[in-house]
Amino acid sequence: MRRFTVAALTAATVGTVLTAVPAQAHQGRPPGLGLENCTANVCRFDVAPGTYDVTVRLGGDSAASTRVTGETRRSLLPETATAAGERVTRSFTVDVRTPEGEPTGADGTPGLDLVIGGSAPALSDIGVTPARRARQIFLVGDSTVCDQPGDPYSGWGQQLPQYLRKGLSVANYADSGESTVSYLADSRLWATLQPQIRRGDLVLIQLAHNDKQTDEATYRANLETLVAGVREKGGRPVLVTPIVRRWFNADGTLNNNTALLVNGLGVDHPAVTRSVAAAHDVPRIDLTAKTKALVESLGTEDSKALYLYNEKRDNTHTSVHGATVYADLVRDELVAQGLVPEGRTRVG
């Protein structure tokens, strides 16, 4: 990520832009929620936990390309190109909480942190206001979904916010190492998430990678408990089958057990998830089938870039690139199934 100094930010991307904006354009915004909160490439806002709408004005006198990340490495706005002299306005909604990343992780810094990056970043103005009618998309999952704290790791849930427009917020409560058993047992996870669900909120549930010792009856019952708990609060559960592991057979297909999440007890996690979805009339995103098709189409070499094979010899966890590709698959399914209006999403 390119870093730039305060002087460069002010001279190249702020001063000339703000002088051209009518003063009334900034009236009504609470004080302390603009560019005065930005130092170098980081904008910090002293706000309480909650959901906030962020509006950024991008561009400057020179051609630019800007993206926005925030909190624990969440991708909030995809890289956006602007021509010399062009300014564009983009908005998104962000969840601010403590801990700001994984629910069992470190608290992180108070308030809202936004990082202005991209190949040639230019920020003209920024505003943060409480979101009045935001709809939440809660995520229940493991390390393949969560807000990973450090490079080179990334979960698909960490990349999903960039595909959503203002009014839709991702509250990622996925946590590394969790199974259906541990997610329900830990008070920092399900017991913390469930009371926050409001009518109309979506709750995407992808748990399987760590259910290596969970028998079928228990796994099924745990998924049913999560589904019932979401509905109890008026939310809408969505069952997501797990992303595949990158384990190939000699013929170029994925291994039927390790890659496709069949555990040592013979429990076929994707199959059980599909069965629970059908039995309880729950929307389903078959991410297993979609990631299998993609990984096999790329083959043994090109599929390495989706995972951390090159960096860590890791065929389970995704790279930023892989997590972004998989988040795009989730976004497409949310739209295709009518769970999220297409007009409320954006293409990366």
Cα distances (angstroms) measured from residue 136 to each of 115, 120, 127, 139, 170: 22, 32, 21, 10, 6
Q: What is residue 316's predicted lDDT score, i.e. its pLDDT?
A: 98
- Please enumerate in sequence order all residues whose Cβ is within 8 A of that of 107, keeping only pairs 6 or more positions apart, or say none: 98, 99, 100
Angle at 194 between CA 245 and CA 218, to 5 degrees: 50
Q: Dihedral of CA 9/10/11/16: which sign?
A: positive
pTM across the whole model? 0.90
With b meaning 16 or more CB within 10 Å and e meaning fewer, what string describes 82-115?
A: beeeebeebebbbbbbebbbbbebeebeebbbbb
CATH 2.60.120.260 in the chain: give the residue spans.
Answer: 6-130
Q: How many CB atoms lie within 10 A of CB 231?
A: 15
- Please enumerate in sequence order all residues whose Cβ is within 8 A of that of 273, keeping only pairs 6 or more positions apart, or say none: 208, 223, 239, 240, 241, 242, 284
Decide: helix, strand or coil at residue 51: strand
Decide: helix, strand or coil at residue 240: strand
Q: What is residue 180's predicted lDDT score, i.e. its pLDDT?
A: 98
Per CATH, the number for 135-344 is: 3.40.50.1110
CATH 3.40.50.1110 in the chain: give the residue spans.
Answer: 135-344
What's the DSSP call for residue 10? I
Instruction: Write down the CATH superfamily of domain 6-130.
Output: Galactose-binding domain-like (2.60.120.260)
Query: What stretches in the chain show pLDDT beneath 50?
Result: 1-29, 31
Q: What is the spatial distance between Cα 38 and Cα 18, in angstroms, rounded to a whole number?
A: 15
Residue found under tokens 């760590």: 210
Q: What is residue 19's predicted lDDT score, i.e. its pLDDT?
A: 21
Give 243-261 pLDDT, tens digit per residue: 999 999 999 999 999 999 9
Of 267, 254, 95, give the one whose Cα is nearest residue 179.
Answer: 267
The contacts found for 307-313 with CB under 8 angstroms, 24 or more apart, are: 307/246, 308/152, 308/153, 309/246, 311/152, 312/152
202 and 235 in contact (C-beta within 8 Å)?
yes
Q: Is the peptide bond before 152 cis (omega within 30 degrees of 0)?
A: yes
